[in-house]
Structure 1
Amino acid sequence: MSTPSIIVAGSGSLARNLCWSLAAGTDVPMTVRVLARNKDKAAEVAGIAAIRARLSGSAARFEVSTEDTEDVSGIDAEVARTRPRLLVNCASYQSPWERMTAPSAWSELVRRGGFGLTLPLQASLAVELAGAVARRSPDTLVVNACFPDVVNQVVAALGLPVFCGIGNVMSLAAALAPTVSQERPLRVLAHHVHLTAPSNPADEALAWLGDRPITDVGARLAAFRTFDRKELNAVTGHAAASLVTGLLSGEYLRISVPGPFGLPGGYPVAITSGGRLTLDLPTGITEADAVRRNRLDGLRDGVVLDGTDVVFSPAVREALEPLAPEIAAGFPVTELDSARDRLLLLRERLRAPGAST
């Protein structure tokens, strides 16, 4: 039997932490190919991971793709040749940490409107990669790390494959796990917006032990929410590595993930051998209830999907109206590329020294 392969797209913090966690000692054989626009960075990620794997006795092997990923045909070629079991996307046009690492009028605009304002920049590469899978390797499971609470909806609305996401609710569940007994499954229903404590306690993330509600979720997450955001990818990458190894080994998993089936927000799920995924909601909570809750949380984050239309919250619309009125009211998902290009131009202008909104 051949060794299963996965593609990790991206060379930033999350891609690195995922690869380094896989290199820390997994006994599940796999070949990990790092695919990124910056070839030197991709080679660095794969090279360091390979050294770590050798030191720790990991069954994972690491390689770097040599395809030109600036061109869609290069992505298609990599996916067609590799036919990976999984493709994990960690690449986007917008870092979530920019406000802390390089503050500017652009990062202030995002702060004022909400992270949902950046959706076109988060979704574009995920759509390209999912398109390559649809064309060249339909059996590949697509796992997206870039704002999956909404991006996965966009991918699905375009008729492209997406299995689930990583991060966000997964990281919140990882932070809650040490605070509870593990005799019953921990189930978490939460959105990207819950990485920050809500101003109204009624909007807090929901969690259960089995079917019993956890009533002090905010208190249990308080310390986690004070951590430096740039460091949280160490948690997200490690949790993602557990998902990857579980999917490759066929292990039965009960976890919480963002964007399963392209749903909004994050949910508790069960994953059986062969990658069959089902929602694992507690008794008394229907799928409609869970989706409704996550859509409301999505508005607090700045964006939701209404069918095939991207709809920005009032705060985002107000922030964009004087600067990019052509997309402030939202846009169909089929116009994602033009919305991305408009935001890239706006970002370039607002990043300039002395720029203001």
Structure 2
Amino acid sequence: MNCDILVIGTGSVSQVFCYAIALAFSESLKVCVIGRSKNSVDQVVTIANARSVAFSSTVTFIGDSIDWDSENDLSDKLATYSPRLILQTASLQSPWEFTASQSAWCSLIKEGGFGITLPLQAALVAQVASLIKRTMPTDSILVNVCYPDAVNPLLSYLGLPIVCGAGNVGIISTLLQSLLNLDQTRHFQVIAHHSHVINLAESPEDRLTELEGLRIWSDGQQFHQIDTLLSPIQSIKGEQINQIVGCLSAEVVLALLGSSPVHTHVPGPNGLPGGYPVVVQEGKVELALPQGCTIAEAIELNRRAAIEDGVEAIDTEGFIRWNQRASQAIKQYAPSLAEGFRAEDLQIVCQEFIKLRNRLRKE
């Protein structure tokens, strides 16, 4: 029952991805969607297959449920479907909770930064990556869309396989290209982090931090007045941004499975922090930086931007430290978690944050 693509999760990114890739006319693909809820899986698969038929596409979809509490279910699913590529869209924390709730947990994240959710974003994909490393061919492809700017470097530090993410820097790139009406012949390059997307979605007077580290080039010339150019992003409300992320995920996945080079933008390529311009082809991602911008400079721009999200880069000892704002916010409720955590303790720390979240949701 092999498939080409295994999509883990049934949320909005997964839905848009499936509905977009269903229209891949030139590709004959088999996609399997797995998630906690069979009803949710069935809905995504049914709609995706109907869209595929409506447009005479050769992409087909099947579905299955997964029990994350089972020791063997995930490994059994990977063995059953033997995918060429895995798209991870499931995490233990929805980013949209913070736009819909007023709990003390939401207040903590708003005060300290989205980076505080890093353990909750990383726990499931770390399980997936660990199984890929132990049980699957070395050319298996893992694409993670759960906070890839920070999660992918964590996976890389742990020695786990990760190719790239999707969204974030890609959102900024595609929005700019559409707003400026740039055609595909223009060489467009963006260095950007998840924190920039969060900040750009707010009006300038409501932002907690600056647009530190965001850089944009077109045909080698650097753009300025980025804030004004990207102001229309403020019209996209909450989860609707995933209408873009899902399509970007489809673009990246098709490029990774294809043989022709595709110039695009992805977060977390090969475990790097933040997002970059890249070339994607045959399961690999390579940086495609502007002339005059070194890899070290690009990484440093993203490291500085990561701090604005509340989480600093992993140090050489594998310790992930919160910035001062995040540390002070966490210290109010959980002093033992207020400094940061070791990468090797990810699953333990994740459980501690789940306990903290459960408590604060009641306040």
TM-score range, shorter chain: over 0.9
2:30 aligns with: 31
Deviation of 1:203 after TM superposition, in Å, equals 2.3
Q: Tell whether 2:123 aligns with 1:114.
A: no
Of the structure 1 ranges 60-69 and 136-145, higher mean CA displacement relative to structure 2 is found in 60-69
Hey, what's the Cα distance between the residues in 2 that align with 1:268 and 1:4? 29
Q: Tell whether 2:44 aligns with 1:42.
A: no
Hey, what's the Cα distance between the residues in 2 that align with 1:148 and 1:99? 19
SS at match of 1:65: strand
1:57 aligns with: 56
Hey, what's the Cα distance between the residues in 2 that align with 1:81 and 1:287? 39
Percent identity, aligned pairs only, is 33
2:284 aligns with: 276
In the TM superposition, what are the counterparts of 1:82-93 in structure 2 within 5 Å?
82-93=81-92
Gaps of 5+ in 2: none
Of the structure 1 ranges 143-152 and 331-340, higher mean CA displacement relative to structure 2 is found in 331-340
SS at match of 2:86: strand
In the TM superposition, what are the counterparts of 1:211-250 in structure 2 within 5 Å?
211-250=220-259
Deviation of 1:52 after TM superposition, in Å, equals 1.4
Of the structure 1 ranges 101-110 and 18-27, higher mean CA displacement relative to structure 2 is found in 18-27
Q: Tell whether 2:148 aligns with 1:158.
A: no
Q: Tell whether 2:349 aligns with 1:339.
A: yes
TM-score with structure 1 setting the length: 0.94
Gaps of 5+ in 1: none
In the TM superposition, what are the counterparts of 1:180-329 in structure 2 within 5 Å?
180-182=181-183, 183-195=185-197, 196-197=199-200, 203=212, 205-272=214-281, 274-304=282-312, 305-307=314-316, 308-329=318-339
Hey, what's the Cα distance between the residues in 2 that align with 1:162 and 1:244? 13
Residues 270-329 of structure 1: per-residue CA shift (max 9 Å, x gap): 123x22321100011001001111011000000122232111111110011131111211
Q: Give yes or no for contact 2:164–2:285 (8 Å, CA) kept in 1.
A: no
Pair 1:262–1:25, CA change in 2 (3 A): closer
Hey, what's the Cα distance between the residues in 2 that align with 1:348 and 1:201? 31
Hey, what's the Cα distance between the residues in 2 that align with 1:174 and 1:181? 10
Of the structure 1 ranges 153-162 and 32-41, higher mean CA displacement relative to structure 2 is found in 32-41
Hey, what's the Cα distance between the residues in 2 that align with 1:102 and 1:66? 28
Deviation of 1:3 after TM superposition, in Å, equals 8.4
Pair 1:109–1:209, CA change in 2 (3 A): same
Pair 1:49–1:70, CA change in 2 (3 A): farther
1:351 aligns with: 361
Deviation of 1:202 after TM superposition, in Å, equals 6.1
User: What letter matches 2:284 in structure 1?
Assistant: R
Residues 13-41 of structure 1: per-residue CA shift (max 9 Å, x gap): 11111111112343211111111122221
Deviation of 1:180 after TM superposition, in Å, equals 4.8
Q: Give yes or no for contact 2:153–2:272 (8 Å, CA) kept in 1.
A: yes
Deviation of 1:90 after TM superposition, in Å, equals 0.4
Of the structure 1 ranges 47-56 and 202-211, higher mean CA displacement relative to structure 2 is found in 202-211
TM-score with structure 2 setting the length: 0.92
Residues 103-143 of structure 1: per-residue CA shift (max 9 Å, x gap): 31111110000000110000001101111211221321110
